[in-house]
Amino acid sequence: MTPKALSFDVFGTCVDWRRAVARDTAMHVPGVDPLAFAVAWRGQYQPAMERVRTGARGYVALDELHLENLHHVAESFAVTVPDPAALNTAWERLDPWPDVVPGLTVLRRSVPIAPCSNGSIAMMTALARYGGLPWDCILGADIARSYKPKPEVYRACAAVLRLAESDVMMVAAHNADLAAAADAGLATAFVPRRDEHGPGQTVDLRAEGPWTVVAEDFRDLATQLFPDPV
Amino acid sequence: MTPKALSFDVFGTCVDWRRAVARDTAMHVPGVDPLAFAVAWRGQYQPAMERVRTGARGYVALDELHLENLHHVAESFAVTVPDPAALNTAWERLDPWPDVVPGLTVLRRSVPIAPCSNGSIAMMTALARYGGLPWDCILGADIARSYKPKPEVYRACAAVLRLAESDVMMVAAHNADLAAAADAGLATAFVPRRDEHGPGQTVDLRAEGPWTVVAEDFRDLATQLFPDPV
């Protein structure tokens, strides 16, 4: 199966949010354990989006949710963040894993590549400029005005690219993301990121579903999908 | 005034649709005047979008409108197009004017750049891959689900980038496009394309409004906006 386009999860799959957010936290909030703070901040991610997914709240871009979550986390750590808006832009400066830019560069010689992230178009644009991610266009939550794993987010990637769902392959380091993408009709590729959550990581260490492709990293994905690139 | 992002008209401003569509027409429809056919095809562009703008018809991507218009034009030229869907992809292979890629490459060192076109995200993605247009993201009609010159299309550029409207500058070779962008609150830059309609061109030869910037081409625009690029 050769996809006609590739859509990518970003946080964890393309970029290392944990160390980058911790680095900015250390600069903005002295005296707090920056890695613990980053993990707790990220921990508020799913519950905040869930209120949008259930319809309890209208669509709000992830930038807003991150800022609200920052207030909650600061409260639970009993610290004051002098400039929350500035710290919130940490999510626009996340370093790509080493294989990502070279892998994407090879992949996009064959097909269009786009993020299908819960991050906003603004956040994904900033992140691409920071890390040199060579996207052809930016898809995801802002396009569907909903959050993964809602099926409409994956389906919107195909619809906007004017492709059949089965011609688009979702690439992610998270089995749950791929399960939802497969349910929405997309092809799937699993790439493990065994260090996303640090040394003690216990989840998503390996493929746990019948994914279309399992690759070691983005370069391996390129070799498997397009052995004879144009 | 230094903009925080630049949004670009594409057909005519960035790419030469007339010669490129004529070239593909000549391949697909022998025996027809290809430049006249291309101009007539493009001539159906505004009336087709107007039905969407007035609400007489729901939002339909420009790819669909182009295909419908192709049938009308073929009828009026009394010719048969053997493969209309293939000829319709001519709009995905339009050559950039010579200053466009070098100019965009310099401009995006300073701020994000995005098309704000009536073309779909799929069409703009294909066009960028064909011509090497180094967009940071793709905005425009598909994002707003409406067509320029409706104000919501320009405003959506700013909203999606999470910027104030006055911080986004619309770049176009068409005075009417800039008038609508200015009404929507955007800054404006006029760049003439005196050959868009061929040797007899009578419209848009010069700036006809109080645009924020008037430049000779994209390289001149870069020099005027960012004399000391980062």
ipTM (interface predicted TM): 0.96
Interface of B with A (CB under 8 A): 61, 63, 112, 114, 120-122, 124-126, 128-129, 135-139, 142-143, 160-162
Q: How close, in Å, is residue B198 to chain A by CA atoms?
A: 31
Residues B37 and B87 in one domain: yes
Over range A4-8, report the average pLDDT. Answer: 98
User: For A129, which of B121, B122, B136 is closest by C-beta distance?
Assistant: B136
Say yes or no for a CB contact (<8 Å) between A112 and B129: yes
pLDDT surpasses 70 at A156: yes
Question: Looking at the domain assignment, is residue A230 inside a domain?
Answer: no
Residues B35 and B145 in one domain: no
* CB-CB neighbors (< 8 A) of B129 in chain A: 112, 136
Question: Looking at the domain assignment, is residue B9 inside a domain?
Answer: yes
Question: Looking at the domain assignment, is residue B114 inside a domain?
Answer: yes
Last residue of a domain, one of A74, A92, A110: A92
Residues B51 and B67 in one domain: yes
Q: How far apart are CA A185 and CA B59, in angstroms?
A: 24
Residues A208 and A144 in one domain: yes
* CB-CB neighbors (< 8 A) of A163 in chain B: 122
Q: How far apart are CA B35 and CA B33, in angstroms?
A: 6
Question: Looking at the domain assignment, is residue B230 inside a domain?
Answer: no
Residue A228 is predicted with a pLDDT of 83
Residues A169 and A110 in one domain: yes
Last residue of a domain, one of A92, A118, A138: A92
**β-bridge mates for residue B117, sequence order:** B140
Residues B163 and B182 in one domain: yes
User: For A137, which of B61, B137, B161 is closest by C-beta distance?
Assistant: B137
Over range A114-129, report the average pLDDT. Answer: 98
Run of H or E residues at B82? none
Enter the pTM of the model: 0.97
The percentage of chain A sitting over the pLDDT mark of 70, rounded to a whole number, equals 99
Q: How far apart are CA A190 and CA B217, in angstroms?
A: 45
Residues A10 and A28 in one domain: no
* CB-CB neighbors (< 8 A) of B144 in chain A: none
Residues A119 and A154 in one domain: yes
Residue A230 is predicted with a pLDDT of 62
Residues B12 and B39 in one domain: no
CB-based contact B114:B7 (threshold 8 Å): yes
Q: Which residue has the tokens 């247009």?
A: B133
> Tens digit of pLDDT for each residue in B169-178?
999 999 999 9
Last residue of a domain, one of A68, A92, A116: A92
Number of domains composing chain B: 2
Q: How far apart are CA B87 and CA B68, in angstroms?
A: 12
Q: Which residue of B has its CA nearest to A162?
A: B122
Q: Residue B88 contacts by C-beta under 8 Å, 6 or more apart in sequence?
A: B63, B66, B67, B70
Say yes or no for a CB contact (<8 Å) between B125 and A138: no
User: For A125, which of B112, B122, B142 is closest by C-beta distance?
Assistant: B112
Residues A129 and A213 in one domain: yes
Residues A203 and A153 in one domain: yes
What range defines the domain where residue A68 resides? 17-92
User: pLDDT-based confidence at A1, cuts 50/70/90?
Assistant: confident
- Which parts of chain A fold into alpha helices (H)? 17-28, 34-43, 45-53, 62-76, 84-88, 100-110, 121-131, 141-144, 151-161, 175-183, 218-225
Q: How close, in Å, is residue B125 to chain A by CA atoms?
A: 6
User: For A121, which of B122, B126, B160 is closest by C-beta distance?
Assistant: B160
> Tens digit of pLDDT for each residue in B95-140?
999 999 999 999 999 999 999 999 999 999 999 999 999 999 999 9
Assign residue A45 the CATH number of its domain.
1.10.150.240
pLDDT averaged over consecutive 10-residue blocks of chain B (230 residues)? 96 98 96 96 95 95 97 96 97 98 98 98 98 98 97 98 98 98 98 95 98 98 89
Say yes or no for a CB contact (<8 Å) between B125 and A161: yes
Residues A73 and A177 in one domain: no
Smallest Cα–Cα separation from B85: which of B62, B68, B105, B101?
B68
Over range A47-69, report the average pLDDT. Answer: 96
pLDDT surpasses 70 at A229: no
User: For B122, which of A61, A121, A162 is closest by C-beta distance?
Assistant: A162
Assign residue A113 the CATH number of its domain.
3.40.50.1000
Question: Looking at the domain assignment, is residue B161 inside a domain?
Answer: yes
Residue B1 is predicted with a pLDDT of 83
> Tens digit of pLDDT for each residue in A73-108?
999 999 999 999 999 999 999 999 999 999 999 999
Interface of A with B (CB under 8 A): 61, 63, 112, 114, 120-122, 124-126, 128-129, 135-139, 142-143, 160-163
Residue B229 is predicted with a pLDDT of 65
